[in-house]
Chains A and B, each alone.
Chain A
Amino acid sequence: MTSGLLITFFITAIVLVAAGILAAWLLAPSSFNKQKSQPYECGIPTKGTSWMQFNVGYYLFALLFLIFDVETVFLFPWAVVMKTIGMTAFVEILIFFVIIVLGLAYAWKKQALKWQ
């Protein structure tokens, strides 16, 4: 039965990993040092938290990333059927792209992609 096989597979996987971690935990010599919890073992001591306020400039890039992310989602189904549909699909995606690239050109023209 497939499901029984899959359950056996998952249990074996979990047991193997857990056994490895447990063995390492039992066998390894343990010592505590404050330095160990630092992000870098050497170098300049860290100052403050890593959760700091970001420059607002990043937000525009996040927004643009999200828009092109949405565009990528529409590329998935197109890529799957591109070969079977052929030229029509190619022309359709070309129109799609030309309109999107207008947005990219606008961003470029407005120097929104430039770091400031």
Chain B
Amino acid sequence: MMSITFHQAVFYFFSAIIVIFSILTVTSKRILRAATFLLFVLLGTAAFYFILNYAFMGALQITLYAGGIVVLIIFSILLTSHVGERFEPIGWGKMIASALVSLIGAGFTLYVLLNADFIPTQAPLPDASVKNIGTALLSYERNGFVLPFEVVSLLLLAAIVGAIVIARKEPHDTENPNNE
């Protein structure tokens, strides 16, 4: 018991959270609850990034996945008319088949992981601090990423225009659009 370091304890704590909420996500009978459980899974993943000292990725995970994607998923669920319905119970055949498939998948992953030779590298770890990322992102010299940075804004512009074109219905009365 005392051989476990604090770091390991934190790791197992968040692993347990991720495993428990992942299982709850797929077993929940109500779709909105499943989405809420998914939020905790994503937050647990963010905790891993913080444990690895990758604060930028952790912040990204919380803002985008926990804050944005889950909101979008919940909105999509709330837009459907079957919000409050419970899923039908799954038959035994399907349950056994899916359990078999996931067990084979888990077994294969474990087999590969346990047989892999992980060679510890001697090279220094890349500095993934927010400051370093910012410097690289705004640098226009060699190995700088200013062009991708600006292209991202174009991508976001395309996303805005696309979202508006698809999600918004045109007013039928074109002469008086306020009349809709």
A positions within 8 Å CB-CB of B: 2-4, 6-7, 49, 51-54, 56, 58-60, 62-67, 69-74, 76-81, 84-85, 88-89, 92, 95-97, 99-100, 102-104, 106-107, 110-112, 116
Contacts and interface: CB of A to CB of B under 8 A. Distances in A.
B107 interface: no
A104 B157 CA distance: 8
Contact of B78 (A4, A53, A110): A53
6 contacts: A49-B83, A56-B79, A56-B167, A78-B138, A81-B134, A96-B149
A interface, over-half SS: helix
A18 to B, nearest CB: 16
Question: Which 7 residue pairs of A and B lie closest in terms of their CB atoms, listed nearest first?
Answer: A77-B134, A103-B160, A3-B6, A81-B134, A99-B153, A63-B163, A54-B78
B131 A80 contact: yes
Contacts of A79: 134
A52 B131 CA distance: 44
Given A66-B64, A77-B133, 5 more contacts: A52-B84, A78-B137, A80-B130, A99-B156, A100-B156
Contact of B163 (A6, A64, A89): A64
B43 to A, nearest CB: 16
B68 A59 contact: no
Nearest to A79: B134
Contacts of B6: 2-4, 6-7
Interface in B103-160: 130-131, 133-135, 137-138, 140, 146, 149-150, 152-154, 156-157, 159-160
A7 B12 CA distance: 14
